Amino acid sequence: MKLKDLGEIDTEVVLFGGPYSNLHATRALLDEVARLDAKAICTGDVVAYGADPSATLAAIRDAETDVIAGNCEQQLGTKARHCGCGFDAGSTCDRLSAAWYAYADERISAEDRDWMRDLPDFACFTQAGRRFAVLHGGATDVSRFLWSTSPEADFAQEVEALQRHLGDIDGVIAGHSGIGFIREVAGVTWINAGVIGMPGHDGRRSTQYATMRGGVPVLHDLTYDAEGAFASMQTAGLIQGYHTGLLSGYWPSEDVLPPELRRVSVANGSWVSTRSRRRSSKTWV
Ligand SMILES: [Fe+2]
């Protein structure tokens, strides 16, 4: 278990997950980091579905972003045969992962794999007197899916495991599950910063990240050149379904989501996001 202590951070922090080989989104996020003169912390999965694994990695590394190992880094770093996302066998995610994983695996260098293997499993930092842990999915399982609607007991299990490693914490910054939320739960502020490489399954092209100043997190939309990312995936032959998700705003792998976060059918036969309805009331779930 590797832990990186980032110490006290007085400046603004930009928190984000899942660049997913989406170079267009990564450049937009890093532009925002530079504009804010902020410290950037990534919750992992730098390489996944998109067309530019090597260039995305290079951009993240050149920006001296602190990165936590995601399941994608753990698997690619050790030349594993699959991405280890934690989805069920036979699910849409399971079927679609074969193409992008093989594509990415062929395009990253030995030096990139060395960098991945050297990443910490956890980080911690303090801001405004509050101590935060950073991880990918869960402390008990790097690929654990924790959603805004997950039972409190699931969060409590993870907080307890984190505190065994790190001592007392006031907040947790996580990624992996792909939809951002902030929830006071199990005695901490649990912040899933979302991912920048795919939309938040709400019918919009924008993706998600978070900022934190004074120990207070805020979720934001990231607007970027989604058409450009889509075109790159088409050119690369990555046309199994994630490419259209960039434009539709909906994941092709909806079956990985808990039922309450999936789209629902409406009277005219189309589908809408339960999340976009809630977001209109300014509640992020
Ligand atoms: Fe992940």
110: helix, coil or strand? helix
Tell me which fold the domain 3-259 belongs to. Purple Acid Phosphatase; chain A, domain 2 (3.60.21)
pLDDT tens readout for residues 111-153 = 999 999 999 999 999 999 999 999 999 999 999 999 999 999 9
pTM for this model (two decimals): 0.91
Q: What is the whole-number distance in angstroms between the Cα of residue 224 and the centre of ligand 1?
A: 22
Distance 6 CA to ligand 1 centre (A): 22
Residue 44 CA, ligand 1 centroid: distance in Å? 7
Q: CA 139, CA 158: separation in Å to the nearest integer? A: 6
Give pLDDT, residue 182: 98
First to last CA, the chain: 31
- How many angstroms does the Cα of residue 143 sit away from the middle of ligand 1? 6
Write down the domain spans for the chain: 3-259
Ligand 1 centre to CA of 256 (Å) is 12
CA of 73 to the centre of ligand 1 (A): 9
User: Cα(70)–Cα(136) distance, rounded to whole angstroms?
Assistant: 5
As a whole number, the mean pLDDT across the chain is 91
Please give the distance of CA 222 from its chain centroid, rounded to a whole number. 13
Decide: residue 226, CB within 10 A, 0-12 exposed, 13-18 middle, 19+ buried.
buried
Ligand 1 center–CA 223 separation, angstroms: 22
The predicted model gives 157-180 an average pLDDT of: 96
Q: 277 pLDDT exceeds 70?
A: no
